[in-house]
Amino acid sequence: MTSSSRAPLERLRYELRELAEPRVRAQLLRVLSPADHDELLGVRVPVLRELARRYRGLRPEVDALLRSRVHDERFAGLLVLAEQMRVARGSGERGTLADFCLARTDGVDNWDLVDGSAPVVLGKWLLEESRDVLDEVLHRLAGSASLWERRIAVVATLTLIRADRYEPTFSLVIALRQDPEPLIHKALGWMLREIGRRDAPALVGFLDLYAPELPRITVRHATERLGPEDRARFVRRR
């Protein structure tokens, strides 16, 4: 059977395997530390994004991708959702896509999957929701026992930051400042750094209040783009 004669889901799966690279798989095994049940093919992210653009018409098939034990298939499914969110018309369609993703977070189980999807799939939807809805969703995820749901909450605020809305991020940093996971500490620092790129006084004002309470790695990441004097002042306090 040729690739073109296959059903769309099978065609995508076939292409993923054809495009996998052993060198990329070896790199991913080192940086992702996947679970024992997770299968890695080794498809580069730009290739996954191009596939997602071509297969963004998939609908029920995305559920099968997100439930797959193959890491690259789950990533492709999330990127298809991201493409659908980019072209969605109206808040109703965006809300449906966001609800679909929120119901399947058990398949979003590594940092690359979170970081590649949360700002677009969840963040884009939250951008137009009421503050009550935004706070409820983010703090429900932030209070989850799942490391990945907590990271989803943090990284989703990147879209809000780019719209000059910083308070949701600041609120999550305070809520998660005692989180036990370094991957959360790093994500918090990343988001704070993004705020500082847009509004250094806002970041400095926040750190003046909270830097002594934050994980050291959060402060180090947050201050990477500040001037040397400010950076040294905050890092010393940690």
pLDDT band per the 50, 70, 90 thresholds, residue 5 = low
Q: Is 210 a residue whose pLDDT tops 90?
A: yes
Instruction: Output the pLDDT for position 3.
Output: 54
Q: Distance between alpha carbon 35 and the CA centroid of its chain, in Å?
A: 19
Mean pLDDT rounded to a whole number for the chain: 94
Q: Are 85 and 94 in contact (CB under 8 A)?
A: yes
Region 185-213: what's the mean pLDDT?
97
What pTM did the predictor assign?
Answer: 0.94
The span from the CA of 153 to the CA of 173, in Å, is: 11
Q: Is 146 a residue whose pLDDT tops 90?
A: yes
Q: Give the SS3 label for residue 70.
A: strand
pLDDT band per the 50, 70, 90 thresholds, residue 102 = very high
Instruction: Output the pLDDT for position 82.
Output: 96
Region 81-98: what's the mean pLDDT?
93
pLDDT band per the 50, 70, 90 thresholds, residue 236 = confident
Instruction: Output the pLDDT for position 97.
Output: 95
Instruction: Output the pLDDT for position 4.
Output: 58
Instruction: Output the pLDDT for position 33.
Output: 83
The span from the CA of 200 to the CA of 222, in Å, is: 10
Lowest mean pLDDT among 25-34, 162-171, 174-183: 25-34
Half-sphere exposure of 178 (CA within 13 A, CB side): 2
Q: Is 37 a residue whose pLDDT tops 90?
A: no
The span from the CA of 137 to the CA of 173, in Å, is: 15
The residue among 142 and 36 whose pLDDT is bigger is 142
Region 107-132: what's the mean pLDDT?
95
Give whole-number Cα distances, 173 to 77, 121, 130, 222, in Å: 29, 21, 20, 11
Region 11-23: what's the mean pLDDT?
97
Q: Is 195 a residue whose pLDDT tops 80?
A: yes
Region 96-125: what's the mean pLDDT?
95
Instruction: Output the pLDDT for position 93.
Output: 93
